[in-house]
Amino acid sequence: MSRILENKVAVVTGASRGIGREIALSMAEEGAAVIVNYNGSAARAEEVVKEICDAGGKAEAVQCDVSDFSKAAELMDYVVKTYGRVDILVNNAGITRDNLLMKMSEEDFDAVINTNLKGAFNCMKHIARQMLKQRSGRIINISSVSGIMGNAGQANYSASKAGIIGLTKAAARELASRSITVNAIAPGFVKTEMTEVLSDAVKEAAEAQIPMKHFGETKDIANMAVFLASDKAKYITGQVISVDGGMAM
Ligand code: NAP
């Protein structure tokens, strides 16, 4: 049976765990060679690579702090030199530093913007020339329901995720004529280490806001990422697709 990402090269940022890990595994399952980017979790990134290779796929773990402009350039240069092309970029790396606006430090605001928003910009900027040369490419940015609706205690995170939406749409307009699509996925609450730390009270309050009444699975997000990366989605660009159990409708 033919796989929908056969012979594609995919870079997934923040793929050592959570949603990024699932996207990496799912893209590899569909035939892509996957660059499993991570920042600090080397052993976990290697586990993802092993899982892919054990299943007969192709993957490599590459450390890079995507918030660092020149390091992101090095990552993309390395991938292009090694693999000759980049078909898919998934900007998934993300952090939270939650606090009420009144209590939020400048450091926590900057850290979240630098990783979540500038990190995506850095990776897109450094791969755009290659994709333009190829006259093809798929960029998938992971936004959030918080970027659409706002969320108390997440001024930095909501701003970064709303920023991702503007970044996605501007880049989609710039790159569309060369058959490069740029889309965002806006997950709702998904079961990962990021949401594991929430108190039971916060989790219950969140579930009450979700029409489907439960958190999503990482696979729910990965399925959408695989679809957007495939030829089946070739006429979709500049869109923000919510995968959130109905939360942001
Ligand atoms: P997670 O389990 O905390 O994993 C975050 C990933 O990002 C890790 O692989 C981490 O790598 C990587 N990362 C963090 N900073 C990085 C940096 N500077 N450079 C490179 N990689 C970095 O988070 P998750 O829940 O899977 O979330 C993934 C994405 O989905 C994030 O953008 C998040 O905002 C978004 N999202 C999540 C939810 C949710 O409910 N979980 C909802 C909406 C949107 P290391 O471990 O190596 O540091």
Both structure tokens of 226 = 């695989």
- Residue to substitute in 36, 39, 141, 202 for testing ligand 1 pocket (most ligand atoms within 8 angstroms of CB): 39
Which residue, by CA, sits nearest to atom 9 of ligand 1? 14
pLDDT mean by block of 10 residues, the chain; 249 residues:
94 98 98 98 98 98 99 98 98 98 98 99 98 98 98 98 99 98 99 94 95 98 98 98 98
Res 143: pLDDT: 99
Res 73: pLDDT: 98
Three-state SS string over the chain comes to CCCCCCCCEEEECCCCCHHHHHHHHHHHHCCCEEEEEECCCHHHHHHHHHHHHHCCCEEEEEECCCCCHHHHHHHHHHHHHHHCCCCEEEECCCCCCCECHHHCCHHHHHHHHHHHHHHHHHHHHHHHHHHHHHCCEEEEEECCHHHHHCCCCEHHHHHHHHHHHHHHHHHHHHHHHHCEEEEEEEECCECCHHHHCCCHHHHHHHHHHCCCCCCECHHHHHHHHHHHHCHHHCCCCCCEEEECCCCCC
CA of 94 to the centre of ligand 1 (A): 4
Half-sphere exposure of 242 (CA within 13 A, CB side): 14
- Ligand 1 neighbours (beta carbon < 6 A): 13-20, 37-41, 65-67, 92-95, 115-116, 119, 142, 144, 187, 189-190, 192-195
Backbone angles phi, psi at 165, to 5 degrees: -70, -45
38 is catalytic: no
| Residue of 38, 78, 83, 157 marked catalytic | 157
Q: Give yes or no for a contact between 119 and 67, defined as CB atoms under 8 angstroms apart.
A: yes
CA of 222 to the centre of ligand 1 (A): 14
Closest-lying ligand 1 atom to the alpha carbon of residue 41 = 47
- Residue to substitute in 11, 17, 49, 74 for testing ligand 1 pocket (most ligand atoms within 8 angstroms of CB): 17
CA of 92 to the centre of ligand 1 (A): 6
Res 1: pLDDT: 72
> To the nearest 10°, the Cα dihedral for 226, 94, 166, 202?
100
Res 2: pLDDT: 87
